Amino acid sequence: MKRLCFMAGVLLLVSICGCARVSKRVLLIFSYHPEFPWVAEETRGVEYALKERGLEIEKLYMDTKRRTSTDWKKKVAEDAMKKIEEFKPDIVIVFDDNACELVAKKYIGNILPFVFCGMNGNPEDYGFPSDNITGVIERGHIKESVELFKRLVPDVKKVAIITDNSPSSQAFVNRVKEIELPVEIDEFYNTNDFDSWKTKIIELQTEVDVIGLFLYHTIKEKGEEVSLLPQEVLEWTFENSKLPEFALFDFTIKGGALCGVSPSGYEQGKTAAEIAIKILDGKKPIDIPIECPKKGNSIINETRTERLNINIPEDVFKEVEIVY
């Protein structure tokens, strides 16, 4: 009897260990830091899609918005590859362009599958898709943002777009130059220097009718290694600009910009996770087409409309999200 009980215990232990081994591991590698609103939305989307799947999930944040030096990027890329080696994931999801460039690109042709998400650049620039890599691209709704802006300010003629000089911004500017818009873009201006940003904002007051804002998260004071708080850049901009602006992200509009149509970080994360599930269930990455969620959120900041003495037409008011 004792022998039977012992054998039953051994079999139970083996069964438990076997169950533990079949739990799939997912590693999430984020280009930026967890407090960045876009990252928070991506995380919310991916966690929603992966919940109740019995997966072991770990996260790594590369923090390349606040720290942009070549040495830092080299270090965190090495950290990410070390994490992959130690954690031994069944699949890796990388978020935004820096993680694609610094990590996923180095695993092209590897047996380990990757899914990318939030990519502003062109997949082919990174060598994607490949046998083991597919994912989700992010495309800002600039045409829709301009069209929404023109419903508030119909007579706009001259437009300048100002953004930081991050890889995401560079990819955005290159793409916008190829898009036919209902306005002419007079100037694109990229900088990571706060003094240069300030100077350009002041110059634009007499040169254009509207400013388009993309990103401002890698802007620094001279001689500093860590980027300024994004809201600090925004607050200075709105205090010193009398021009209306459109923006491409909800966090910029909620931070004070007049209006825009924002892509959804939640949809990016959710779609990437759904692709990852297909791969974990046996589908090959190369057989899954790259996706681009088309859903955008139209937003107007009513506080900014009041400050700029702009009226929101009744038909527009009914169609958009109003923030303050």
pLDDT of residue 5: 44
- DSSP secondary-structure letter at 274? H
Of 253, 237, 232, 238, whose CA–CA distance to 323 is shortest? Answer: 253
Tell me the pLDDT tens digit for each residue of 149-160.
999 999 998 999
- Tokens matching residue 81: 């590859």
Q: Which domains does the chain have, with CATH numbers?
A: 23-138+265-294 (3.40.50.2300), 142-263+297-323 (3.40.50.2300)
Average pLDDT over residues 8-15: 46
Distance of CA 79 to the CA centre of its chain: 21
Q: What are phi and psi of 128, to 5 degrees?
A: -105, 155
Average pLDDT over residues 14-36: 77
Tell me the pLDDT tens digit for each residue of 62-82.
999 999 999 999 999 999 999
pLDDT of residue 143: 95
Tell me the pLDDT tens digit for each residue of 35-58.
999 999 999 999 999 998 999 999
Tell me the pLDDT tens digit for each residue of 211-265.
999 999 999 999 999 999 999 999 999 999 999 999 999 999 999 999 999 999 9
Q: Give the global pTM.
A: 0.87
Q: Between the CA atoms of 46, 49, 52 and 57, what dihedral angle is there, to the nearest 10 degrees?
A: -20
Report the share of the chain in percent with pLDDT over 70: 93
Average pLDDT over residues 103-129: 97
pLDDT of residue 289: 97
